[in-house]
A = this chain, B = another copy of it.
Amino acid sequence: MGFKIGLLGLGTVGTGVSEVFANPLGRHPLLQEMKIVKVGVRSLEKIRSLSLPPALLITDLEAIVHDPAIDIVVEVMGGLEPARSLILAAIAQGKHVVTANKAVIARHGAEIFAAATQAGVYVMIEAAVAGGIPVIQPLKESLGANRIHTLMGILNGTTNYILTQMQQSGAAFTDVLAEAQQLGYAEADPTADVDGLDAGDKIAILAALAFGGRIDLEQVHREGIRQVSVADINYARNLGFVIKLLAIAKLSPGTSTTADTSFPSQLEVRVHPTLVPLEHPLASVNDVFNALLIEADPLGQVMFLGPGAGAGPTASAVVADLINIAALLKTGLVANDPETPRIHPLLACSHEQYCTIAPMANLVTRFYARFLTKDHPGVIGKLGTVFGDHGVSLESVVQTGVKAGLAEIVVVTHHVQEGNFHHALSEIRSLAAIDSIPSMLRVL
Contacts of A299 in B (CB 8 A): 132, 306-307, 312-313, 316
Q: Which residue of B lies closest to A20 (CB)?
A: B145
Contacts of A346 in B (CB 8 A): 30, 323-324, 327
What 4 A-B pairs have minimum CB-CB distances, sorted nearest first?
Answer: A298-B312, A145-B319, A28-B144, A302-B306
Contact with B along A323-355 (1 / 0, CB 8 A): 110011011110000000011111000000000
When the two chains form their complex, are residues A141 and B16 in contact, meaning their CB atoms are under 8 A apart? no
- The answer, yes or no, to whether A27 is at the interface (CB within 8 Å) is yes
Task: Tell me the smallest distance from the CB of A329 to a CB of chain B, in Å.
Answer: 11
- The answer, yes or no, to whether A284 is at the interface (CB within 8 Å) is yes
6 residue pairs from A and B, CB less than 8 Å apart: A23-B258, A26-B147, A26-B259, A31-B145, A137-B141, A331-B344
Count class of interface residues, chain A: 35 or more
- The answer, yes or no, to whether A126 is at the interface (CB within 8 Å) is yes
Partner of A316, one of B146, B317, B320: B146
Which residues of A are in contact with B by a Cβ distance under 8 Å?
Answer: 16, 19-20, 23, 25-31, 126, 132-134, 137-138, 141-147, 257-262, 264, 281, 284, 296-307, 310-313, 315-320, 322-324, 327-328, 330-333, 342-346
Known contacts A142-B317, A298-B311, A327-B345; 15 further A-B pairs (Cβ under 8 A): A25-B259, A29-B262, A134-B137, A134-B138, A134-B302, A145-B319, A145-B322, A281-B305, A299-B307, A300-B306, A301-B306, A301-B307, A302-B306, A328-B344, A331-B343
When the two chains form their complex, are residues B25 and A323 in contact, meaning their CB atoms are under 8 A apart? no
When the two chains form their complex, are residues A257 and B26 in contact, meaning their CB atoms are under 8 A apart? yes
Among A298, A322, A327, chain B packs the most CB atoms within 10 A around the CB of A298
Among A31, A126, A142, chain B packs the most CB atoms within 10 A around the CB of A142
Contacts of A333 in B (CB 8 A): 331, 333, 344
When the two chains form their complex, are residues A300 and B305 in contact, meaning their CB atoms are under 8 A apart? no
Contacts of A298 in B (CB 8 A): 16, 19-20, 311-313, 315-316
Contacts of A332 in B (CB 8 A): 342
When the two chains form their complex, are residues A134 and B142 in contact, meaning their CB atoms are under 8 A apart? yes
**A26-B262, A258-B23 in contact; A300/B320 too (CB < 8 A)?**
no
Q: How far is the CA of A342 from the CA of B310 in the complex (A)?
A: 36
When the two chains form their complex, are residues B25 and A260 in contact, meaning their CB atoms are under 8 A apart? yes
Contacts of A30 in B (CB 8 A): 144, 345-346
Contacts of A20 in B (CB 8 A): 145, 298
Task: Tell me the smallest distance from the CB of A187 to a CB of chain B, in Å.
Answer: 21
Task: Tell me the smallest distance from the CB of A135 to a CB of chain B, in Å.
Answer: 9
Contacts of A313 in B (CB 8 A): 298-300
Contacts of A300 in B (CB 8 A): 132, 306-307, 310, 312-313
